[in-house]
Chains A and B, each alone.
Chain A
Amino acid sequence: MLLEWIYDLTYALLKPFKRFLKPDSFAEKAMISIEKVGKGVVFDCQMCGQCILHSTGMVCSMNCPKNLRNGPCGGVRLNGHCEVKPEQACVWVKIYEGSIASPKYGGEIMWLQPPVNRTLQDTSSWVNLLHGIDQKMKTVWQTQEDKDALEPLFRGSNEKE
């Protein structure tokens, strides 16, 4: 998917500038504005500061009225619309479709996403990513092995038998 490719490209472009893109720096302020506009237009980004777009089919999960980061609630309507806002499609229905259409990162929808760090609201997710701030926790949330074990289930064996 094109968006996956753009994500990889952005990461590759920004990585060499890690030294300059420091938290609370002028460069971060600039990044915040860029993200607000750019990701705002494309994804209706809510600026949570710990972006998991590529794990959620390139659809912003923070647009779910319940802020769910691990999958849809049980209230999705039969037409695929949201329990809370009946006029809009369930964000997680879109995420699921987006993940199916993402060959590279789609399986990451199976990862267990940790609770949101609310102090990162309105900071730059790229800066946080480059410095590992977005994933920082004092406890082990999920090991790489666990992630690797879950991921294949996404495209896995629903069909046989």
Chain B
Amino acid sequence: MKKNKSSMSQLEEVLISGRFAITSELNPPDSADAEDVNRAAMILAGFCDGINAVDASGANCHMSSMSICALLTRVGYEPVYQISCRDRNRIAIQGDILGAAAMGVRNLLCITGDDVSAGDQPGAKPVFDFDSIQLLRTARMMRDERVFLSGRKITSELPLFLGAAANPFVPPYDWRPKRLAKKIAAGAQFIQTQYCFDIPRFKEYMRQVRNMGLHEQVYILVGVGPLRSYGAANFMRTKVPGITIPDEIMDRLKKTPKERQQEEGKNICIEILQQVREIEGVAGVHIMAYRQEELVAEIVQEAGLLPRIAQQPF
């Protein structure tokens, strides 16, 4: 089931071909300036098979994922459209899926979303009309059966490559592979994981995933990323939901002089990338470099992942 192409997505094509895939994240600007998006995309497109347009991650208000997708598809880049269940109900979401596909978006990433309490406007109303599995299943229904949730017909094709997130690094640990099985049953074809800093934990997760044969049904892209400094790592660890950083990594950064911490963060990222690459069932990496897009290029190069096929803008 994994091998049948369901979309015109370049990301899907890379994964089917068996090449090691790389996706990355575009940090959404706090501006109304398209150049901010283009500039970041230009750096990433040289090395990535897909660029995530994030949906107000951490519940902080930024340019919306839909509009970033609009800007990216205009130039001919390959976005991964993130939809979270936090801000919109089922009516808005189904409409957005159609609109995104019409603009040329081919990859959808369905996520639950961080709670509003994590962000800059904790007084906002959390929606959560769908959960991520209901969102996935609905998107698959729209694509495969060409109907809305209500049964009403959709009058065109909807070529989409469906993805979901996974966090193997938080409890209940034994449940996480089973949750992955549910996501696959709901329609997930690729997975981007939360930041992986804990290799033993991830190996155990993948062992269970392989036991259940799930690695043959879904492409797993492991989340990695450079920590900018000890302070930044500490912030992510304590303030951002779902991110776990083991003590050894914190210690390693702490012992490094301040001016070399960014370099050390990058080294750690490259080491992790090379280690997860060796694990059976890993199809690629998802590089998250918050406000350090330039580093993605260096990471890809120094991890020995070159040459890559760059995305070709129009």
Contacts and interface: CB of A to CB of B under 8 A. Distances in A.
Nearest to B214: A153
A72 B132 CA distance: 10
B170 A115 contact: no
A112 B182 contact: yes
A146 to B, nearest CB: 6
Contact of A138 (B112, B150, B167, B172): B150
A54 interface: no
Q: Which of B126, B132, B141, B185 has the most A CB atoms < 10 Å from its CB?
A: B185
| Interface footprint category on B | 35 or more
A83 B126 CA distance: 14
Contact of B129 (A77, A80, A115, A158): A115
B178 to A, nearest CB: 6
B96 to A, nearest CB: 16
A158 B177 contact: yes
A68 B114 CA distance: 13
Contact of A71 (B165, B182, B207, B242): B182
Nearest to A94: B172
B114 A158 contact: no
Contacts of B202: none
A146 B140 CA distance: 15
A68 B208 CA distance: 24
B171 A74 contact: no
A83 B172 contact: no
Contact of B171 (A84, A90, A116): A90
A56 to B, nearest CB: 12
B5 to A, nearest CB: 23
A52 to B, nearest CB: 12
Given A71-B179, A74-B166, A161-B207, A115 B149 contact: yes
B180 to A, nearest CB: 10
A149 B150 CA distance: 26
B208 A65 contact: no
A130 interface: no
Interface pairs A-B: 3 shortest CB-CB: A74-B167, A75-B241, A138-B151
